[in-house]
Structure 1
Amino acid sequence: MVRPLEERFRTVRDLLPDYRVETTGNRIVVHESGTWQHNTVLSRLLFQIVGPAAARGWEIWPNITVHLGEQADRYVPDLAVVPPSPRMAEDHAVHGDSTVLLVDVVSTSSTYDDYFVKPTGYAPAGVPLYLVIDPFQESATLFSEPGERYGRETAVGAGEPLVLPAPWEFALDTGKLLYA
């Protein structure tokens, strides 16, 4: 008998606690730790968002599962920004509509999932903002206005400002994210 995906997901997550394990498109995906380039992009992003997040009392969480619904996938973004006392599905899973921003940095193995699969799961779950930073394309894409799909997709090249709408209301300096 084949075990349900959720049960297999939990087993893999328990067996590999040092890895990011998620279900994406009815697949169990295991991500190794990021490269130094991947982590440098995340560090540069943190330098820009930590002040605005702290001023609002928000927290920045790496390695948290996003609960998208009972029968939906379970994604683990590179970073999640959450308000005080977010609604949790479990200790390791925050409800998507209880986030302020989710971020993924594209790796060679995640391009399709980050650009196409995850936005179709995040939007109906009410994730307000999903940011995809792509060091290979030297670009950043912000998905916003969630509904059945995201109503808005804003893509900019490295060096162009990317405005994060309310409740952020400030512009990321993408040049500082993607250039040394």
Structure 2
Amino acid sequence: MTSTTTESAWDALEGANPPRGYRVEITDGKIIMTPHGESRWEVVLSAAPQIRTQLAGRGRVLSDVMIDFPSPRFGYAPDLAVVAPGAERNARHRFEWHDLEAVIEVASPSGRDEDHLRKVRTYAECGIPLYVVVDPAAAVCTVHSAPQPAGSYREAERVPFGNDLFLPLADRTLVLSTDGFPADPG
């Protein structure tokens, strides 16, 4: 199912070239740019190949790719997004929120409120089945599941680094080793 009838928050950046090395997202109508952190890259570089291997062509994993959400005030480019098998890009050449089976975000010291509060609400409202927050400062992953339309997840499981992370998707379960995730108390 593809749709382009909804205005996209990303339309505000049409023709812009954001600086390299920065993450760009749109929250509540504001364009936010933050530099990529070392911990974030280590998690992405550890998790992405694990996910890709286990998907084995049934879906795909993306990193820092613009996703169209059903609001012109929010435009997220998740650290990692698992796209459902058979999902197609819309007329803007982007995937949409309903194409995602899971989103993994790495919390940064400056974006902890965003990852733990606003994104939880947005992803739950959109019905994204799994939202995982990897928090290097706490050395823990929180797997949010069972999204509620009111903007919360009914279940949240905390998995300390060093333990396997189980991600139940529609027709399969991904298992990620968190041994390579960096604990960063600073």
- TM-score tier after normalising by the smaller chain length: 0.7 to 0.9
- How far is 1:36 from its partner? 3.1
Equivalent residue, structure 1, for 2:40:
38
Alignment of 1:144 with 2:148, yes or no, is: no
Structure 2 residues not aligned, in runs of 5+: 1-7
C-alpha distance 6-163 of structure 1, shift in aligned 2 (>3 A): closer
Counterpart pick for 1:172 among 165, 168, 176: 176
1:82·1:101 contact (CA, 8 Å) conserved in 2?
A: yes
| Deviation beyond 3 Å, 4+ runs, structure 1 | 5-9, 87-93
How far is 1:96 from its partner?
Answer: 1.2
Q: Residues 30 and 39 of structure 1: is their aligned pair in 2 closer, same or farther, counting only changes over 3 Å?
A: same
Partner SS, residue 142 of structure 2: strand
Matched residue of 2:12: which SS?
Answer: helix
| Richer in helix (by share) | 1
AA partner of residue 83 (structure 1):
A
CA contact (8 A) 1:65 1:92 kept: no
Q: Which has the higher contact order (CA 8 A, sep 6+)?
A: 2
Question: What TM-score comes out, normalization by structure 1 length?
Answer: 0.81
Matched residues, number? 172
Gap runs ≥5 in structure 1: none
RMSD across aligned positions (CA) = 2.5
Whole-Å Cα distance in 2 between the matches of residues 56 and 7 of structure 1? Answer: 28
Equivalent residues in 2 for 1:61-140, closer than 5 Å: 61-91=62-92, 93-140=94-141
User: Closer, same or farther in 2 for the Cα pair 1:56/1:9, shift >3 Å?
Assistant: same
The answer to whether the 8 Å contact 1:64/1:92 transfers is no
Residue deviations 1:124-160, cap 9 Å, x none? 1121111111111101011111222212111121123
> TM (normalized to structure 2)?
0.79
Change over 3 Å in CA distance of 1:36–1:71 after alignment to 2: closer
1:17, distance to aligned residue in structure 2 (A): 5.7
SS in 2 for 1:146: strand
**Per the alignment, do residues 87 and 8 of structure 1 end up closer, same or farther by CA in structure 2, a change over 3 Å counting?**
closer
- Of 15, 18, 23, 1:16 maps to 18
Compared with structure 1, are the counterparts of its residues 82 and 123 closer, same or farther at alpha carbon in structure 2 (3 Å cutoff)? same
Q: How far is 1:45 from its partner? A: 0.9
Structure 1 contact 143–154 (Cα < 8 Å) conserved:
yes
